[in-house]
Amino acid sequence: MMSQSLYRTLISLHPAAEIDVMAPAWCRPLLNRMPEVSQALSMPLGHGALALAERRRLGRSLRGQGYNQALVLPNSFKSALVPFFAGITKRTGWRGEMRYGLLNDLRVLDKTAFPLMVQRYVALAYEQAEIHSADDLPQPLLWPRLQVAQDEILAACASFGIQNGRPTIGFCPGAEFGPAKRWPHYHYAALAETTIARGYQVLLFGSANDRAAGDDILALLPASAREHCRNLAGQTSLEQAVALIAACRAIVSNDSGLMHIAAALERPLVALYGPSSPDFTPPLSRRAKVIRLIEGYQRIRKGDDQQGYHQSLIDIQPDQVVAELTILLTPDGGR
């Protein structure tokens, strides 16, 4: 998601530019909603696979396609191979894993000068001599903004039988690194019960790996509330999840990919952080409120209780989230 800020910046600087993005196939539903992207090219190789011959073949297949510049966002050695084999004249990126020669517009990163990931991406849109720190970047930065058509939202709601009798609040209770980055399911259940009592319906989003977390939330709800809460984790495609999140009045989420999607859709968002820090990859939205009770970088490890939850997330009480959600749901969103 953060990479869209780079694409938006490039188009602002070069309105006639055509931007193709090579990324894993699962990214296509997001790239298709970025108007700056002309074409989404599938990267068929999985994370961690060197596959030198395949990267050479892939790079050579791009020769003669008219590319003037490649911007390489991952910092790995292997990520710089395809543009090199493609013979693209200008190959730009941060130095990363000893990429001398593979990249010929090589930038040396001072992490203190560019503390946010989005700043590091946007800096690559400019010539090296122009930008020495985040202070040199034009402000405000162009944050990620996904576009979803209203008919797509209506179709997704119809596919899952989601009625419009109650406004919808979305919860994203999963997290890639497991329970240590998750707000406890019993807190989500308490929040769902309060939210439903106020006249909302609740949708639970996530991958198939998050299905059990959603079921745990449902199991704690009284029957009267359970009928207004749907566990969609693992049931939607990414396209459908994006459209359904766009349909929500607000989102409550752990630090996760879906959190960044909600921010890019400009949904009012309460983002819950524990050991992971918003200092590097915060939700990029003025309609987002971050709740975190600790400071500084914390190693993501096994949680503090037998269910694996981190104490700093256990300590965030549902009443705190209700208070922030209430403010976000006011007409001016607390602004």
Enumerate domains of the chain plus CATH numbers.
3-136 (3.40.50.2000), 150-328 (3.40.50.2000)
Residue 275 · residue 298 · CB < 8 Å = yes
- Model confidence pLDDT, tens digit, residues 181-240: 999 999 999 999 999 999 999 999 999 999 999 999 999 999 999 999 999 999 999 999
Residue 335 has pLDDT above 70, yes or no: no
- Model confidence pLDDT, tens digit, residues 152-162: 999 999 999 99
Mean pLDDT of the region 297-303: 71
Torsion of CA 68, 72, 76, 80, to 10 degrees: -10
pLDDT for the residue 333: 66
Residue 185 · residue 220 · CB < 8 Å = yes
Measure the N-to-C terminal CA separation of the chain; round to a whole number of Å.
25
> How many percent of the chain have pLDDT more than 90?
87
